[in-house]
Structure 1
Amino acid sequence: MYVSPSLSQGEMVNTLKAFNIRDDKVKNLNIFLCGPIGAGKSSIINTINSILEGQISVGYQGCLDSSVSQTLQFHERQVGNAKDGFLHLVLNDTMGLEIDQSNGVHTDDIITALKGHIKEGYKFDPQTPIDENSTYYRENPSLSDRMHCLVYVIPADKISLMDEFFQKLKTIRDAAYEMDPDLPHVILMTRVDKTCTLTNKNLRYVYNSKKIKDKMEECHQALDVK
């Protein structure tokens, strides 16, 4: 599926609504969001649903720049609504990463979720990842249970301070490539208005900002994701 950035918002929404999965074994495409605490993963999910629903959506409480993860459980959020119909897309939200392994989501849990073993509602334990005896552990995940796209949510204004976070993300990246070499990887930068005076005045200038372009390259070099 490719959605041209030159399309208007309405055209993008219509393109997404018309999208169908060719493989009958897969009901929905699972898009997995991961990143540090306060990066805005839950806010992104709410924003996407607000656009598609045509009204403000606050399905998940999130807080940009929070020092404590607002997501404590594994959430699967279908895109759309019962009235207008759901898209064949599911956004999967997790607890945020932290530098200290005793806090934040355990990288093993993210890798296990990528493989489709974790069920909706699993409560993350920063110090002890899920095991096969958990009621939230799916022993034999199908292709439909696995993640089909990995999205790294990165706060643009903090990239230079994220060396240790990037090491964790690289561990997740390598496990994802091992699981499926063709799995799409996407970097989504948030907080661009905090990074550049041009975008702070008007977000429409985000594609004209040299500073944002430099941050994109910095993020690419750190994570090696195109």
Structure 2
Amino acid sequence: MGLIFVLSGSWFIDVEINKVYCNLKSNVISSNRNKEVDLQYVREYQTKRDDIKHLRILLYGPVGAGKSSFINSVSSILLGRISNPAWANNSAESDKSYTKKYETHKIRKGEENSQTYYHLVFNDIMGLEEGSGSGVHPDDIKLAMKGHVKDGYTFNPVSPLSIDKSDYNPEPSADDKVHVLVCVHSANSAEIKASVLQKMKDIREAATQLGIPQIAIMTKIDEACGETEEDLKNVYKSKHLKKKMRDLSAAVGIPMNCIFPVKNYSEENVINDDVDSLILNALRCMINFVNDSINKT
């Protein structure tokens, strides 16, 4: 543990590992986050506004970054078992010819017969690709952020959704709008191509103008770093992953303390505390960022 700076009553930075710990209930700093505390926090989360029933999380990023896998991983953690609600999308995530539909993923409390859901919903979209005419059109992401895209809309890489189409929602409610924008990027991928990077910057600028909080999730940290593959607890000791995070921060303009390295569930058939802890830390910070934003309006 390095030097600790207290930024406010709820924010702390550990300089040595360059990590922000979010909104702890006490002022005790620990390098090992309490998984059960974070899990309870996420499970019990409810918005404080009557017009917003669910915190809407929109995931975007290059093809194959792990967007659908992240949704499946969150579902697995909350259910306490491996779950794949976004499996159909995830199975084809690396296929550039695949056309994805706009879909809201809700996570049930309990098993299939339960009629209650957690107050977090995820929207997974087609991946960003090089050049025009391929991958999700940035204008569709901008419309989705404003709540204008209905569930079931099929993304068209060539032509974005227009106001005269049946999939266009002309009067979105506060619940339809995106409350946090999450850039998903693989730590094991090559440098982001210039055309994809420009699309990401355009999307970020639109989100900033709308006042939408933004974070980044860096996936596949086990594939990118041998010492992290050996033990996920080494994630913030890895100079390689720290450089990857710094490179992503410089490329897309997201601060280091808003970038969260995670490992999604992929080959596992049982849940793992170390995997859960990293994802729950990201979720808890995500919730806090959104609360700060939506409670202002």
TM over 0.5: yes
Stretches of structure 2 lacking an aligned partner (at least 5 in a row):
1-9, 11-21, 25-30, 256-297
Answer with 1 or 2: which has the greater Rg.
2
8 Å CA contact 1:40–1:63 kept in 2: the answer is no
Aligned to 1:36: 62
Match for residue 86 of structure 1?
117
Q: Secondary structure at the match of 2:217?
A: strand
Q: 2:229 aligns with which of 193, 197, 200?
A: 200
Task: Report the RMSD for the aligned CA atoms in angstroms.
Answer: 2.2
* Distance (whole Å) between structure 2 residues aligned to residue 14 and residue 42 of structure 1: 23
Question: For the Cα contact (< 8 Å) 2:145–2:207, is it kept in 1?
Answer: yes
Q: Give the match for residue 120 of structure 1.
A: 151
Q: Deviations over 1:154-192 (max 9, x none)?
A: 111225243332211000000111122xx2110100121
CA distance in 1 between counterparts of 2:34 and 2:99 reads 32
| Aligned match of 2:187 | 156
Q: Tell me the equivalent position of 2:52.
A: 26
Percentage identity across aligned positions?
Answer: 36
Q: Is the CA contact 1:34–1:153 (under 8 Å) kept in the aligned structure 2?
A: yes
- Tell me what 1:50 maps to: 76
Counterpart CA distance in 1 for 2:191 and 2:72 is 27
Is the Cα contact below 8 Å between 1:116 and 1:146 reproduced in 2?
A: yes
Q: 1:9 aligns with which of 26, 30, 35?
A: 35
Query: Are the equivalent residues in 1 in contact too, given 2:150–2:169 (CA < 8 A)?
Result: yes
Deviation, 1:201, is 2.2
Match status 1:219 vs 2:279 = no
TM-score, L = length of structure 2? 0.70
SS at match of 2:58: strand
Letter in 2 for 1:94: I
Kept in 1, the 8 Å contact 2:146–2:172? The answer is yes
- Which one is further off, 143-152 or 162-171? 162-171
Q: CA deviation at 1:55?
A: 1.8
Q: Is the 8 A contact 1:106 1:127 kept in 2?
A: yes
Q: SS of 2:46's equivalent?
A: coil
Whether the 8 Å contact between 2:43 and 2:78 is mirrored in structure 1 is no
Query: How far apart in 1 are the matches of 2:215 and 2:91?
Result: 22
Q: Deviations over 1:87-124 (max 9, x none)?
A: 21111100111113211111110110011000111111
Partners of 1:64 and 1:193 lie apart in 2 by 22
The question of whether the paired residues in 2 share the 8 Å contact of 1:149 and 1:184 is answered with: yes
Deviation at 1:60, TM superposition (A): 1.6
- Structure 1 counterpart of 2:295: none
The CA deviation string for residues 9-48 of structure 1, in whole angstroms up to 9 with x for no partner, is 3222211122221111111110110001100100100010
Distance 1:220 1:26, change over 3 A: same
- Report the TM-score when normalising by structure 1: 0.91
Map 1:64-103 to 2 at 5 A. Answer: 66-68=94-96, 72-81=100-109, 83=111, 85-103=116-134
Cα shift at 1:221: 0.6
- Residues of 2 paired with 1:79 and 1:149: CA distance? 17
Task: Decide whether aligned partners of structure 1 residues 51 and 64 sit closer, same or farther in structure 2, where only a CA change above 3 A counts.
Answer: farther
Displacement of 1:63 in angstroms is: 4.5
C-alpha contact 1:20 1:88 (8 A) present in aligned 2: yes
Structure 1 alignment gaps of length 5 or more: none
